[in-house]
Homo-oligomer: A and B are copies of this chain.
Amino acid sequence: MRELAEQLLYRYAAAIDDGDLADWPDFFVEEGLYRLTSRQNHQRGLPACLIYCKGRAMMRDRVTAIRHALTWSPHTYRHHYSNLLVEPGATREEPVALRANYLLYRTEEEGDSTLLATGRLIASIRLDGPARFVSKTVLYDACRIPGNLVLPI
């Protein structure tokens, strides 16, 4: 169970880091929820998010926007996850809860690697059938993310 949750997280990161962005929505269940917000907003219960996607259709829209609509300077990500804690659901059908910390580095084309964000994530993962996120909430510790954020974390 722990290993399945770990692998889902690592394959998710590898897809984004390798540029396979079209695969991103498939890491979630059909009605899955993705949120990216600051630690402070989350603590205060404020609903504002830097990225908010409810359902794969909304995620696919975002992928299309990133590819065709938005203007951004070419760069790649490198995700590093640490301190993974997995908690089983009440029954085998219930999703498991995952908590982890992350470090995210961005490398500009022909440039250096710099820290984009560090923080933690809280996820709910369904393991009956192919492992998928029911929800993934990514919190960053700083009050803001430097530069324009385009890709999901």
Contact = CB atoms under 8 A, between A and B. Distances in A.
A80 B101 contact: yes
A142 B146 CA distance: 18
A83 B85 contact: no
Contacts of A119: 78
Interface residues of A, number: 39
Contact of A85 (B7, B110, B120): B7
Nearest to A116: B113
5 contacts: A78-B118, A79-B83, A109-B143, A112-B146, A113-B142
A151 interface: no
Query: Which of A79, A120, A142 has the most chain B CB atoms inside 10 A of its CB?
Result: A142
B101 A78 contact: yes
A54 interface: no
B80 A103 contact: yes
Contacts of A81: 82-83
A3 B99 CA distance: 15
A40 to B, nearest CB: 8
B78 A80 contact: no
Given A14-B85, A80-B101, A101-B79, A142 B7 contact: no
Given A10-B83, A14-B85, A85-B14, A78 B112 contact: no
Contacts of A39: 76
B141 A85 contact: no
